Structures are given as structure tokens and as C-alpha cells.
Amino acid sequence: MTSEQPALVLRDLRKTFGSAVAVDGIDLEVRRGEFVTLLGPSGSGKTTTLRMIAGFMSPSGGSIEIDGQDMTRVPPYRRDVGMVFQNYALFPHMTAAQNVAFPLRMRRQSRPDVERRVSEALDLVKLRDLGGRYPRQLSGGQQQRIALARAVVFQPRLLLMDEPLGALDRKLRESLQLEIIRVSRELGATVLYVTHDQEEALVMSDRIAIFSEGRIEQLGNGEDLYDRPASLFVADFIGESNILRGRYEADGADGGWMTRGPWRWRVGRVAAEQAALEAGAAAALVIRPERTRILDGGSDLVPGSNVVDATVGEVLNLGPDTKYELTLEGGQRVSVREPRERGGRELHRGDQVRLTWAVEDGLLLADRDVTST
């Protein structure tokens, strides 16, 4: 086994329940010490994938390798994998320290070794003074930290986490996100983390696998997924997007146009080359809200930019930013997000404005939902 050996390899992993396909041919490699998140909507196959890796479900096809060893049919207790659940899964009749010690006692570790490693694990999650308390005497955040200590106390080669912060309030979730990152880095642990919360995934992960209908739509870091989404699903799922649907018209070296009825929006050459669409293909032009601007007169218009007329719908105060919900002539809705420090302008519902964005800020993608065009 070399240092280059991936910690986890999934090859064509599948799971069906009768005629229903839950996981449809997953291929994934996770490097040692990497934090990879499986992100997607409910029912997209991410938790089923995690449970097959843990050994709680048997795959219908494909293989699972951990540290170069085929674990596809190996029972859970022989996989040397730590698991943290959303509902903590602590034993109510055991103290926090006894819960943490449980995996070591199951492995028949000596008493001095158990005591030493439990103390180290409680120190790691900063709960050493609470080892004598029972789960009912701990807050939700404390219980989850005990569950994390129990999962890492035996130094597993892979740590699996299934929506571990889903039952906590927002402020506590954000605090524990940092705790989990700290613990995983201190241990050099390989983590596979499941969530449906995109912000959580972007904050915590080295790479993110976007799941949809049992498949991985795209695998990459947060910047890749936000700035270079491979599909309209990813563009719509990660962050906030303005999606203008229409047909693509090629225009040689200049890129081309997106058309919908009387409207035409210029598409940059790079975006057109990356999309590789044929003329007349159903397409979507994706522009992030922070890349759009509402013109203040005509002096700040950048030559060559796209400009469209719009009506202000809602004006939302988001603290440091102001968000404007606009409706284009023809009914398409778009959002604009601007720093409040830009100031000096007051817009209200019903105001007529002009919206602009730089041609290079538009991302062109194929639109499989051709009925919407």
C-alpha cells in the first residue's frame, strides 16, 4: 500500500429497490486526508451511497475499495470505518465517556489504553470535563461532539458523516462546522460527509460531489462548481442563478446570441466554445446575481454589455447587500445583488430600470428542458 493509494474508490456502484434506481453507477475516488461532501436534494442517492460504503446496505452492483482492499461484501464491523449520524445514536444508559469507550471495548483494548484514548478523544472535542454526564444531561451540540469523539477514538481509516448537523439550529451548526474541520485536520482523517445544505458543503469541503437522480452530476471544489458548473442542474443548485432560457444562435468568432422571442442576449466566445452547442439548440444563459447591475443613468454602461429593460418587483435588505427582484418584459425574472455601500439610489416596487451584465459573465449551458423555451 503506497501513500498514493486512494482512501476510497467506488466503481460503478449501484443500488436498486425493485424497479426503483437509487444509485445509478457511481464512480468516485477520495484521496487520503481529503474532506469530500456528497451534496444533493433529498432522494438523490447520497445517503444510500454512504450506507453502502459503511456496509449497512449491500450494493446491487459495482465495488467498494477502502485502502486498496475490496470491501464490497465485508460486514460493517470489519471495515474499520467511523460513522456519525444525524440523531447522535448515543447509548442513553451510558455516560459520555462510556459511549466514547464503546468501540474500543468492542475491539478488546486494554483498560489503560481505553482510558488514555477516551481522554484524548474528549480533549479533542473539548468536552473532557463532561465525560461523566449522560446524554440526557448534554445539549444537542455536546451530544454530537461526543458522537464525533466516539467515531474517531479508534482511529478509523475512513470517517463517514450522515447529515450530522441537520438537527441543530443555524448558529450551533456553524460553530460545529468549524469544530469538525478542526478535528478532521488534527487527525489527518479522510472524511466523506453527506448534506443537503450547500453552504455547509462549500464551507467544509475540499471537493464536493453533486448528486442528482442517483448520479454524480459534477465533482469539484467550490470555485469549480460555482464559476464553472457542468450542467444547468449544478448551476441552479449551487448558489443563486439567473437563468435566461432560449435558443442559441452561432456567430462565428464572436460567440453568438441567445434568443427568446424578440429578445437577444450576446454570448461570449469562450462561453460558446465551452458549451459546444449547435445553432438552434435549446440553451440557458446563466448569470450570477452579483455579476448583474442596475444602470444608474447611462454613464456607467460598459460598451458591448448586454442591456435589457426591467421592472422592479421586490427590494430586499440583506444587511451588507441589497437584493432586487426584477421582471423582464416577457415575464422572465432575475435577481440583482449589490453592496449597500454603492448607495445613493432608492428603488421601489414598480420602478422601470435597465439591467446590464458583461458578456463574459454569462455562462452558456445546454437546456434539456426544451419545453420551457
Query: What range does the domain containing 284 cover?
Result: 240-372
In a domain, 3, yes or no: no
Same domain, 28 and 130: yes
Which pLDDT tens digit goes with each residue over 267-314?
A: 988 888 888 888 899 999 999 999 999 987 655 677 778 999 999 999
In a domain, 259, yes or no: yes
In a domain, 250, yes or no: yes
Model confidence pTM above 0.75 = yes
**Separation of alpha carbons 269 and 345, rounded Å:** 34
Spatial CA neighbour of 156 closest among 115, 106, 206: 106
The three cell numbers of residue 214 are: 442517483
In a domain, 1, yes or no: no
Binned at pLDDT 50, 70 and 90, residue 371 comes out as very low
Which pLDDT tens digit goes with each residue over 302-356?
A: 777 899 999 999 999 988 889 999 999 778 899 999 887 655 578 899 999 999 9
Structurally, the chain folds into a number of domains equal to 2
Same domain, 69 and 93: yes
Burial of 224 (0-12, 13-18, 19+ CB in 10 A): middle
The three cell numbers of residue 97 are: 465517556
Q: Which residues contact 334 (CB under 8 A, 6 or more apart)?
A: 242, 244, 287, 289, 292, 310, 325, 326, 327, 328, 355
- What CATH number is attached to the domain comprising 327? 2.40.50.140
Q: What percent of the chain has pLDDT over 70?
A: 95
**Separation of alpha carbons 355 and 338, rounded Å:** 12
In a domain, 2, yes or no: no
Neighbours of 169 (CB within 10 A): 10
Give residue 242's pLDDT.
95
Q: Of 232, 265, 286, which residue sits at a domain end?
A: 232
Give residue 270's pLDDT.
83
Same domain, 213 and 253: no
Same domain, 178 and 320: no
Q: Check if the beta carbon of residue 145 is closer than 8 Å to that of residue 183.
A: no
**Separation of alpha carbons 173 and 201, rounded Å:** 12
Same domain, 247 and 367: yes
Q: Of 197, 212, 232, which residue sits at a domain end?
A: 232
- What CATH number is attached to the domain comprising 144? 3.40.50.300
In a domain, 61, yes or no: yes
Same domain, 257 and 215: no
